[in-house]
Amino acid sequence: MNTTWETHKFEHYIFSLLLAVEVIMSFTFLGYMHIPPISITTAYIPIVIIACLFGPAESSLAGLLFGLGSLYKASATYVMPADAVFSPFRSDFPIGSILLSVGTRVLFGFLLGCLFQLARKSKRKNLCKLLITIAAPKLHALLVYTAMGLLFPSLGFNILSIFILKKATSSSCRSVLRSFWRLTSCITVPLSRPIKTRSMNTKTPPTGLQRLVSCLGA
């Protein structure tokens, strides 16, 4: 029972740390690149890691923080003009802005958590996690631009905007994805490696975070 409590305590520390990173990236300039016509964000990265390590509930909470940060940043005057639709204080459709900035990010976190849960049940866990990681930025862009097309059609953004804006941001996104995949590989690969238990009588399988700590300490 004590070991289980310590394990949960450690997981809470990791979760809180990732939430803190999400808050820093979402509410500061660190998670955004101001490239016309609309700002590009990398603040979804902690959400992907949380979805991989935990589940839909935790990643949805991270998505909520991301959405609130996006709403806060869009309310500033130094962002791109098209970013105003993410703020209920600067757009003509406040409810639509809340759904766009907060609703899509919560849905993004929930979907990612569900996808990673399915990946854990697959026979090729690492391959599935790799594919989900690669698809995560596109999934986020798909949700955001689809919502923009439905809620704010006058801006001209839709699903095709994912590919239109790709040329302007390809180099930045590639560098971000390379850094993100290296970080994700350090986390997801050790999760699949078993560790030896010192006690001969204990048959309780180690958790994913215990495996991670064991592999990093080896």
CA dist., res. 37 & res. 4, Å (int): 50
pLDDT tens readout for residues 85-130: 899 998 888 999 999 999 999 999 999 999 999 999 988 999 999 9
Residue linked to tokens 């990673």: 116
CA dist., res. 159 & res. 153, Å (int): 12
pLDDT tens readout for residues 154-192: 877 666 666 655 544 455 455 555 655 665 566 555 544
pTM reported for the whole predicted model: 0.71
CA dist., res. 3 & res. 10, Å (int): 11
Nearest to 156, CA basis, from 218, 81, 209: 81
Position 166 scores a pLDDT of 52
Position 154 scores a pLDDT of 81
Write down how long the chain is. 218
Nearest to 40, CA basis, from 146, 128, 144: 144
Position 162 scores a pLDDT of 62
The answer for residues whose C-beta is within 8 angstroms of residue 214's C-beta and 6 or more apart is 190, 195, 206
Sign of CA dihedral 46, 52, 58, 61: positive
Strands (E), the chain: 32-33, 40-41
For Cα atoms 44, 42, 151, give the angle at the middle one, nearest 5 degrees: 70
For residue 213, name the pLDDT band (cuts at 50, 70, 90).
Answer: very low
pLDDT tens readout for residues 26-75: 998 888 887 777 778 889 999 999 999 999 999 999 999 999 999 998 88
Position 158 scores a pLDDT of 67
Position 84 scores a pLDDT of 85
pLDDT of residue 137 exceeding 80, the answer is yes
CA dist., res. 165 & res. 9, Å (int): 43
